[in-house]
């Protein structure tokens, strides 16, 4: 059964005093974190975005990692630079020296390299960070390139991990997730699906040793979330574009939500504290 409640009904139901559970009985609210640093509030995947979200109280982030022609790791979502940066085509076709001269379209921020982001995060304990491996385009990342790519990410990320932090390697593509598990069977990975939660996603995640899954909240049912959690999986919902998406995540009972407006949500949550 799909969720058919309006956002206003969800809000009334979730916050109504009739539910008056004790603090011990209440289910904890989902943890929310900044998608691409807060993509709808700041210029996505820039150091400015991560710094601004952190300064506003966010302690969880998601970002996207690609590799230049000479093996350097950069932060970029798309297969092409065209949408977000003053550049053309795939960053995978550029040498790192050329890539360092590229700037973002809105603020003129330098193309962010993974090393620079890790430098910023290194002295900030207690973080949750998802490093999404953008390898679904097999022309840019053929099978023979996956192990090298995964090893580079794993080594660089774990060399700069702050104390008491959770680093998660994520992807829509199972290939780099499997490669990470070959490097370290205990590595924390997450399989992402571009659709609602179903049994196929659960089975695929378990088959590759993932204890985490991410799915679109629209179309996902509360029953599916509960089933995944009963099987030991941590469930993350996305996208988080509006405050209504936060309420939807509350209703579904997901463990975390990846938000493009994390500061808005943070401010709302803070405003409801006694």
CATH at 63: 3.20.20.190
Beta-bridged to residue 132, according to DSSP, are 64, 170
Establish if 104 belongs to a structural domain.
no
pLDDT score recorded for residue 24: 37
In the 8-state DSSP scheme, what is residue 31? E
**What percent of the chain lies above the pLDDT cut of 70?**
90
C-alpha distances in Å from residue 145, one per residue of 67, 71, 91, 95, 148: 10, 11, 15, 16, 6
> Residue 188 and residue 190: Cα distance in Å, rounded?
7
pLDDT score recorded for residue 6: 39
Establish if 90 belongs to a structural domain.
no
> Residue 269 and residue 267: Cα distance in Å, rounded?
6
- Cβ contact 74:91 at 8 Å: yes
Q: How confident is the model at residue 28 (pLDDT cuts 50, 70, 90)?
A: low
pLDDT exceeds 80 at position 58: yes
Establish if 87 belongs to a structural domain.
no
pLDDT exceeds 80 at position 23: no
Establish if 148 belongs to a structural domain.
yes
pLDDT exceeds 70 at position 82: yes
- Per-residue pLDDT tens over the stretch 108-165: 999 999 999 999 999 999 999 999 999 999 999 999 999 999 999 999 999 999 999 9
Establish if 219 belongs to a structural domain.
yes
* H or E element that contains 160: none
Mean pLDDT of the region 200-229: 98
- Which residues are CB-contacts of 161 (< 8 A; sequence separation ≥ 6)? 167
pLDDT exceeds 90 at position 2: no
Establish if 96 belongs to a structural domain.
no
Mean pLDDT of the chain: 91
Establish if 99 belongs to a structural domain.
no
pTM over 0.95: no
Q: State the total domains in the chain.
A: 1
With CA atoms as reference, report the closest residue to 40 among 202, 238, 233, 249. 238
- Per-residue pLDDT tens over the stretch 224-265: 999 999 999 999 999 999 999 999 999 999 999 999 999 999
pLDDT score recorded for residue 29: 80
Give me the residue label for tokens 């350097």. Answer: 72
Question: For residue 200, what are the domain limits?
Answer: 27-79+114-271
> 73 or 13: which carries more pLDDT confidence?
73
Establish if 42 belongs to a structural domain.
yes
């Amino acid at each position: 059964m799909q969720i058919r409640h309006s956002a206003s009904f969800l809000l009334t139901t979730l916050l109504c005093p009739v539910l008056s559970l004790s603090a011990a009985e209440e289910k904890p609210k989902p943890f929310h974190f900044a998608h691409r640093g807060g993509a709808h509030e700041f210029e996505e995947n820039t150091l400015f975005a991560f710094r601004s979200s952190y300064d506003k109280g966010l302690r969880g982030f998601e970002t996207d990692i690609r590799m230049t022609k000479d093996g350097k790791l950069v932060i970029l979502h798309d297969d092409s630079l065209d949408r977000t940066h003053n550049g053309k085509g795939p960053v995978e076709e550029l040498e790192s020296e050329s890539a360092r001269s590229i700037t973002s379209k809105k603020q003129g921020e330098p193309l962010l390299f993974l090393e620079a982001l890790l430098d910023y995060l290194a002295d900030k304990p207690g973080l949750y960070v998802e490093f999404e491996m953008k390898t679904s385009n097999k022309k840019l990342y053929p099978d023979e390139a996956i192990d090298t790519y995964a090893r580079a990410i794993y080594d660089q990320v774990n060399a700069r991990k702050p104390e008491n932090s959770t680093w998660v390697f994520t992807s829509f593509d199972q290939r780099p997730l499997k490669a990470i598990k070959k490097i370290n069977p205990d590595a924390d990975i997450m399989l992402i699906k571009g659709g609602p939660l179903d049994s196929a996603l659960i089975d695929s995640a378990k088959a590759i040793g993932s204890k985490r899954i991410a799915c679109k909240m629209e179309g996902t049912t509360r029953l599916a979330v509960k089933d995944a959690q009963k099987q030991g999986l941590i469930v993350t919902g996305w996208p988080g574009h509006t405050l209504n998406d936060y309420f939807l995540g509350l209703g579904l009972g997901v463990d975390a939500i990846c938000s493009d407006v994390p500061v808005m949500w943070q401010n709302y949550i803070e405003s409801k504290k006694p």
